[in-house]
Amino acid sequence: MEVQKIKQRFGIIGNSYALNRAIDIAVQVAPTDLSVLITGESGTGKEVFPQIIHQFSSRKHAPYIAVNCGAIPEGTIDSELFGHEKGAFTGALSDRKGYFEVADKGTIFLDEIGELPLSTQVRLLRVLETGEFIKVGSSKVLKTNVRVVAATNVNIPKSVKDGKFREDLYYRLNTVPISMPPLRERQDDIHLLFRKFAQDFAEKYRMPPLRLDEGAQQMLKSYRWPGNIRQLKNITEQISIIEKERQINAENLQTYLPMNDEHRLPALYTEHKKQEQSFSSEREILYQVLFDMKKDMSDLKKLVFDLMQKGGDSADLQKDNAMMIRKLYEDQEMDIVQHQPVKQPMVNISTPDDSVIQDTEVFVEESLSLEEKEIELIKKALDKHNGKRKYAAQDLGISERTLYRKIKEYDIG
C-alpha cells in the first residue's frame, strides 16, 4: 500500500522524509514476527506505529492490546502482564488472565518499556525467547504466541549502562528499530498539523477554524516544541477556545508559546563575569585579597623596571610611577593596602653619558598574618556600618553567627 494511503487510514499528517521512512519500515516488518522497538521523544506519535504493524500482519484478526508500563504500579505489573492465581497475594480473590495470555496469537504493545522493573524484565525476556511464562503464585508453565512491539522515550543504552535496563532484553527488543523524529525536525509539517487540529476543534466547538498570517506561521515553525505534537494540539485547542478573532498574528500566538525553553536561549556573556567568585568562608576572602596584592606588586615592579630600561628624566619617571600606583589601588575594596608604610629609597643608575637617573622602587611592608587581616577586615566592616553586625557580616560575605564568633575570639571591641 502507498505511504499516502496509510497516512490517510491512520490519520498521520506530514510529509517529512524521516516520517515517511518510519512508516515504510513499519510496513515492511509487519508480515514478520520480529520484535520492534520504537524510540522518540514524548508526544511524537509513537502509539500509531504498533497499530500499523498489527494491521498489516497476519495477526490482524487476533487481539491487539496496548499497555502503558509506566502507569502500572511496580507491585502489580507482573500480575497485569502475566496473570495470577487465586490467593497469590492479598486481594487476589480469583484467578486472572494476564495480557500475554489474553493477546495469544495477537500483538501486544508495551509503551514506556523503559519503566519496567528489573524483575519484570527477566520475565519478559523469557516470553520473547521461549514464549513461556508463569502466573504470579503458580508453578505451571504456560505458552503464548504474541508479537511484541515496544516504545520508549528513554535513552535505553544509557539505562543499560546505569544498570536500570537489561542489556540482553534491549537487544532482543531492538531487532528492528524505528525512530520517530521530533516535531522541530519536521518544520514543514508543523503548519499542516496546526490546520488539521484547528479544523477538528472548529467542528467540535462549532466555530470558524483558525487561520495564521505569515508572521505567525514563521513563529510556529521556529519554535522548538519540546512537547512535540501533543503540545501543538493543546495550544491549538487553547487558541480556538480563547481567541475571538479567527485570524491569528505573531503577537497573539506568542502569548500561548512558553518562551522559557532553556535549549533555545543564547548564552549571555559579559567580561566581568570572568572574575566573579563565590566565597564559602572568610578565609577564602583573605586569600583572594593577598593574591590580588601580590599581583599588583608584581605589575608595579614590572612597570618600574620597564621605565628604568627605557630611560627618561626623574620627573617623568616619578610622575608615571605615581599614576600607576593610583591605578592599581583605585578600587575601594583594596583600600587595606593604602594604610601600609611605604619606603621609597633612591636608586642611582649610571648611563654611558655619565648622567644619573633617579628612580623609585616601591617596597610595601605588609603583614602576611591571616589573623591580623581578619581582625582588620572585621573592624573596617564594623566601622563602615556603624557597628551594625548584621550588615557587616553581609559585607564580609559570612554569616552573622560566624561574625559574632570571630568578634568574641579576637576580642574586638
Rounded Cα–Cα distance for residues 317 and 356 (Å): 13
How far is Cα 201 from Cα 283, in angstroms, rounded to an integer?
65
Of 249 and 345, the one with more pLDDT:
249
Distance of CA 222 to the CA centre of its chain: 20
Return the higher-pLDDT residue of 284 and 365. Answer: 284
Where in the chain are all domains bearing CATH 3.40.50.300? 1-181
Pick the CATH number of 370-410 from 1.10.10, 3.40.50, 1.20.120, 1.10.287: 1.10.10
pLDDT one-digit tens code per residue, 140-183:
999 999 999 999 999 999 999 999 999 999 999 999 999 999 99
Per-residue pLDDT tens over the stretch 192-226: 999 999 999 999 999 999 999 999 999 999 999 99
Q: List every span in the chain annotated with CATH 1.10.8.60.
A: 184-256
Q: How far apart are CA 1 and CA 246, in angstroms?
A: 38
Region 1-181: CATH code: 3.40.50.300
CATH of domain 184-256: 1.10.8.60
